[in-house]
Structure 1
Amino acid sequence: MPLTRESAHYSNSATASDRDKKPDNLLLAINRVLETQRLRALQGFVANRYARNLTPEKERRISSRLESDGKNATGYIITERLEIGQLARSILVRWNSAGDKPRYDIDADRDAHTNLIETKTNGRWEAFSSWIEELPFQYTEFVGKCGIKEQQRWWANNGKHFRLMDLPKELRLCIYEQAVGTDIYPRLKWVRRKSIGRKIVTIGNGYIGENGFHHDRKAPNHALLCVNKVVNEESTKTAWEASRLSFSSSESPNSDLLISQIKEEVLPKFNTLTHIGLSLSLMGYITFFGVQVQPWMALELLSRAQKVFSKTNLPDLNRLDINIASPKVFQRNPRYLCKFRFPISPWNENAVQAAGQPPSPCHKILVDWIITYAKGSIEHIQHIHLEGYIKTSVKEKWDAIFKTQKAGNYVNVSDDLEALKAIPWADL
């Protein structure tokens, strides 16, 4: 954020008219040092340190202020961003000249006097620039979604630019991975060329779940596809090979249409379909894995997952991630598949139980049922990862089962399946 003369005032004891006319040169110089730190280092940018004037009451509380400090010694507050709120430090700062404050012109002398600023710590004066550089940062969120956004903002604000094609290919691939993201949601797009319409496979436009629910996973950076031919080929390859192919609807894998077209159009060019993720609704998992438990027995659901994840259909599939939806997300009615939405978990304080309907199974039990029915379709996959809203006990149970089977010891759950089918309506 650029500094202006209006951003600081001369002193706390001056009149309002004086403050409007005379900038606080010392405050301008301090903020210039902090601005340089924000531009030079990502940590400084995230910390977002700024200096501001102390109120007269707080300035009188600085016990270390002595007459020998000089008449230009002034109290300021250095604010720093924390994960929640701000950290404020009250410090005493002066020019290292015993006389009046040196002239500070923010345009002409922005670097001339920063070396003359001193701050008092532990009873002694030292260079302000040295003190602020040695001060540890309190907020270091550089990973995940927040970290990516901070890096984007930092690069956009500090004026650092480079030619993408001047970078080695290895670094360009790292940029593509961050721009595309960890997930792509492949889709079939209808296109018309020369009066002939057909569906083609695309890398998708982010997550759009059932009922139009928009997830926080955004679309990949399609701008990379428009830079030039080389970047288009490299970024497309990264998207299909380095990202997880995620499906947000139980209809996406249905009848193998999408996956079959990926195999036909994409697989000859790229080594894809090795890492798949499912982000279905709870009802989506019930229908996809064919869960045959009350109150869905009357629907006579058949598992489509066995065909989709078979070794014949996906011979190179090495990892499957199953993301469990939150019980507080409104789902389609799991009993009658009607258009109304309601919370499937009875633990949700907003859940409404209609008269004459059986109670809903709790989220923990329902997830365990889903994985029990899914086991036969996915157990041959080398790496299976359960994530999202799943109880620790349920996750540990199934992680142990899949680990045992990888070691060559088969775990038979056929008795569990028969027991689930036999649960009477009244016991729900």
Structure 2
Amino acid sequence: MATASLHGDAHELDAQDMSGSSSSRNHSQHSSNNPVRKSKKKQKHRFPGYKHCDPVDQPIRRHTRHEFGAKLKFQVPNPLDTAYWKALTLVNDVQSPYERFASPLCLKALNCAPTVFYEGETAPVVHALFQRCRTIKVQIKLVRDVGPASDWDSSTVMLRDGEQWTPFGDYLKALDPLCEREKAASGEVGYAVQFKWWRSLKKPFRFYDLPPEIRETIILYTLGAMVQPRLSGGQYTPWSEVHITAGSPNSLWDQGLEMVYPVVPPTNLSVLRLNKDLAEVSRDVLWRKTTKVFSYLWSFETICRPIIPKQFSWLQRMYLCLQPLELVHMFKVEIAPFDAHYHQDRQQSIDSFQPDTIVHTGSVPAGCFLRSLPLLHYLELEPHSEGSLSPWSEFVGRRAGVSDDEISLWSARGLNFRAPPCQKRFMDYVMCFAAEYLQSIKTVRLTGPIKTCIKNKWEDLLNNNVYSTIKPQIEEWKEEARSLTALELPPRCSCPQTCSYYLSDLDVDDLGPARSTIWDPVGR
């Protein structure tokens, strides 16, 4: 027992000695002879705000600067950072004054250290291209140009793009533009930004100091680029007064046909009330520069018939939006059952129905009137987009020019004119007969429900060729069209992409290809 107690006391003494020694060490550390060691303060960098940026192998693009894992901290650039200032000059040079105002592209410094120069280049540095909807992290450096007398003033800013270094200026020029909404270059938002930019310049101007071309363009868009000629008093005669400021008839708006017809709003005549000189210029622009819209064949025939000495200088740009049957009548398209006898009978019936108001022209189609417009240099032709787009549909009721056997055969094949014809082939037929009437017009455009291959084919033929060189080929195509019988018409659609969704109503057996070997030189 004594032994055990001795061992226990020894352990207690050892513990006390250890605690005493530790307390004495602590006391000695806090004594005046042994002062407390103070931690070293982090030495300040000689460039305040310096932040090391990891190098990037290629430009890294994000929508905002918060998407880089850690928010990029833009620094105040160092005046001795030569690479930054030369790169900033390139960034400013690639932008127009308006772009710098509306959505400026900036170069933000990510560190504020000076440029480190080596023998032929500088140490790479990382900065950021910043714009309203994008931030691009780039690594750049300066490379001194080759030459014995070259210095750093003639150096080139290089950008790291993967394994190679490319000129920074080339990268800026190839930088994709912002979306239209962000760029705000046009539209309601764009015009508001342009107005603010112009006000910020504080440069007043006089309207008459602008070049004549710009003045006329401003007046044209103030008045309205499109007008619809209308006859006054309801008298549709070649001698009636023509008005071009009233716009489309109200019936089109009331019946909800603005999606079918090109509805033209009334002309904005406020510019005519400013002063006499401007009113005179505006009237001249209104008659000569605006595009005249014709939505009905009878209005075109009445206004444009060359039967009396008229001043047709006001018809320089024209837009025709006609129904398929009106296109057949206008250009005298001779395909069954619209043969030469059909067109002659139609014209004679019109002449006999209005002997006092419409001059007798025999079998001359309305397309010939285009030749009597010497100043007409632009024509936009659009087939009507109403109904089934089929000129053959009128024969369902009256069966004019078609025998009962042919009608029965059409019905047996499941046609019944429920589906429109192949618009690609039909417009090809129309343009074959229209080409001779359009040869004097400098620019012809096809719009509306027209296949792209047909549009490109005929715009190229009419705008880039002299008619005498393409006339033999067109005459061959016209003979091919005349040789088609009523049993082969209307032309059935066999296009990979059908010309109309109405074809889904037909049976599969009715979708066989029709006979045609020359109508698709461009490709389906």
TM-score normalised according to structure 1 size: 0.51
Q: Does 1:271 align with 2:313?
A: yes
Alignment match, 1:387: 446
Is the contact between residue 333 and residue 429 of structure 2 (CA under 8 Å) also seen in structure 1? yes
Alignment match, 2:398: none
One-letter identity of the residue aligned with 2:273: C
Is the contact between residue 247 and residue 266 of structure 2 (CA under 8 Å) also seen in structure 1? yes
Distance 1:369 1:281 in 2: 15
Q: CA deviation at 1:211?
A: 3.0
Query: Any idea what the Cα deviations from partners look like across 1:347-377, whole Å, max 9, x if unmatched?
Result: xxxxxx997446432221011011123245x
Query: Any idea what the Cα deviations from partners look like across 1:393-420, whole Å, max 9, x if unmatched?
Result: 5643674478353459655355234224
Q: Does 1:156 align with 2:195?
A: yes
Distance 2:268 2:190 in 1: 16
Is the contact between residue 241 and residue 272 of structure 1 (CA under 8 Å) also seen in structure 2? yes
Is the contact between residue 431 and residue 458 of structure 2 (CA under 8 Å) also seen in structure 1? no
Q: CA deviation at 1:237?
A: 0.8
One-letter identity of the residue aligned with 1:237: D
One-letter identity of the residue aligned with 1:314: S
Larger Rg: 2
Is the contact between residue 225 and residue 232 of structure 1 (CA under 8 Å) also seen in structure 2? yes
Distance 2:218 2:295 in 1: 25
Identity of aligned residues (%): 12
Distance 2:369 2:389 in 1: 33
Report the 3-state secondary structure (helix = DSSP H, G, I; strand = E; otherwise coil) of the residue aligned with 1:360: coil
Q: Does 1:323 align with 2:381?
A: yes
Distance 2:247 2:273 in 1: 16
Distance 1:368 1:44 in 2: 50
Match runs of 1:12-411 below 5 Å: 41-44=97-100, 48-49=103-104, 78-80=130-132, 86-89=133-136, 138-139=176-177, 149=187, 152-160=191-199, 162-167=205-210, 169=212, 171-180=214-223, 183-188=225-230, 190=232, 200-203=242-245, 205=247, 211-213=257-259, 215=262, 221-254=268-301, 256=302, 258-259=303-304, 268=311, 271-293=313-335, 300=342, 302=346, 306-310=364-368, 314-325=372-383, 329-331=385-387, 334=390, 335-336=392-393, 356-357=416-417, 359-376=419-436, 378-379=437-438, 381-383=440-442, 385-388=444-447, 389-392=450-453, 395-396=456-457, 399-400=460-461, 403-407=465-469, 411=474
Distance 1:248 1:426 in 2: 24
Query: Any idea what the Cα deviations from partners look like across 1:26-46, whole Å, max 9, x if unmatched?
Result: 9xxxxxxxxx99x98333456
Q: CA deviation at 1:234?
A: 0.6
Distance 1:405 1:232 in 2: 41
Query: Any idea what the Cα deviations from partners look like across 1:289-329, whole Å, max 9, x if unmatched?
Result: 344546878x9565899554436982524435243359xx5
Q: Which runs of 5+ in 2 are unaligned?
A: 1-65, 67-73, 77-91, 115-126, 140-157, 161-167, 235-239, 351-362, 396-412, 493-524
Query: Any idea what the Cα deviations from partners look like across 1:73-118, whole Å, max 9, x if unmatched?
Result: xx998345xxxxx5443699xxxxxxxxxxxxxxxxxxxxxxxxxx
Q: 1:139 to 1:249 in 2, by over 3 A?
A: farther
Q: 1:426 to 1:166 in 2, by over 3 A?
A: closer
Is the contact between residue 333 and residue 430 of structure 2 (CA under 8 Å) also seen in structure 1? yes
Is the contact between residue 184 and residue 206 of structure 1 (CA under 8 Å) also seen in structure 2? no
Q: CA deviation at 1:176?
A: 2.5
One-letter identity of the residue aligned with 1:186: Q
One-letter identity of the residue aligned with 2:205: F
Q: Which runs of 5+ in 1 are unaligned?
A: 1-11, 13-23, 27-35, 52-63, 70-74, 81-85, 93-120, 124-130, 193-197, 339-352
Distance 2:296 2:431 in 1: 17
Is the contact between residue 78 and residue 91 of structure 1 (CA under 8 Å) also seen in structure 2? no
Q: CA deviation at 1:166?
A: 4.6
Report the 3-state secondary structure (helix = DSSP H, G, I; strand = E; otherwise coil) of the residue aligned with 1:212: coil
More strand by share: 1
One-letter identity of the residue aligned with 1:78: F
Q: 1:284 to 1:332 in 2, by over 3 A?
A: farther
Distance 1:311 1:240 in 2: 19
Alignment match, 1:412: 475
Q: 1:138 to 1:325 in 2, by over 3 A?
A: farther
Q: CA deviation at 1:177?
A: 4.1
One-letter identity of the residue aligned with 2:295: S
Give aligned pairs, total.
312
Alignment match, 1:343: none
Is the contact between residue 247 and residue 253 of structure 1 (CA under 8 Å) also seen in structure 2? yes
CA RMSD of aligned residues (A): 5.8
Q: 1:401 to 1:173 in 2, by over 3 A?
A: closer
Is the contact between residue 282 and residue 331 of structure 1 (CA under 8 Å) also seen in structure 2? no
Report the 3-state secondary structure (helix = DSSP H, G, I; strand = E; otherwise coil) of the residue aligned with 1:415: helix
Q: 1:396 to 1:170 in 2, by over 3 A?
A: closer
Is the contact between residue 224 and residue 231 of structure 1 (CA under 8 Å) also seen in structure 2? yes
Query: Any idea what the Cα deviations from partners look like across 1:210-260, whole Å, max 9, x if unmatched?
Result: 933265987665432232222121122123223433323434314x1x336
Q: 1:165 to 1:320 in 2, by over 3 A?
A: closer
More helix by share: 2
